[in-house]
Amino acid sequence: MKLVKLWEADMKKAYALQTAFEADENGFVNLAYGYSFDQFIDYVQTRKGYEHGIGLPEGFVPDTVFVLVNDEGEYVGLFNFRHTLNDFLRAGPGHVGFGIAPPFRRRGYASEGLRLLIERISPQIAEDEIYLSVHKDNPASLRAMQNNGVIHHEIEGAFCVRIPKIL
């Protein structure tokens, strides 16, 4: 399995993956929901800019979108890595958001993809640990996080999880 930056991926396969997600599922937001293929291509270039802080909306930090590719070359999920934490991210969402496309769920991809991502991003994280959070009514995501880390504390409606860096 491997992680490929969205803008370095095969655009046809990436579009098929992106369109497999709802507009918002448990807080995993599909910012390209309902886009045509051409709109998606523009969106990918916008996301590429965000990685370098170009064109970021107010209050957003630079981030990188990765596609999780399985050993058969299928595009199975999306992982979003926020490079730094502002007050809002520190209090809740943290460094990482992810989603696995419905046909590929319950096969361990979220858990293993998260491990691969943590390995990849750890050297770039200023904090001692990686911050994430998950809605309390999302046991699958919580389990994937707990396969890599621990619940640190609770806030209203969510668990805040910390994952040790892999260095």
Ligand X SMILES: CC(C)(COP(=O)(O)OP(=O)(O)OC[C@H]1O[C@@H](n2cnc3c(N)ncnc32)[C@H](O)[C@@H]1OP(=O)(O)O)[C@@H](O)C(=O)NCCC(=O)NCCS
Query: Which of residues 144, 160, 161, 163 is near ligand X by CB under 6 A?
Result: 144
Dihedral sign for Cα 124, 129, 135, 137, please: positive
Q: Whole-number minimum distance, CB 4 to ligand X, in Å?
A: 17
Q: Which stretch binds ligand X (CB under 6 A): 54-62, 65-73, 96-104, 121-129?
A: 96-104
Burial (CB count <10 Å: 0-12, 13-18, 19+), residue 76: buried
H-helix or E-strand spanning residue 160? strand 158-164
18 binds ligand X (CB under 6 A): no
Which C-beta is closer to ligand X: that of 41 or that of 112? 112
Which parts of this chain interact with ligand X (CB under 6 A)? 25-28, 98-100, 105-111, 134, 138-141, 143-144, 147
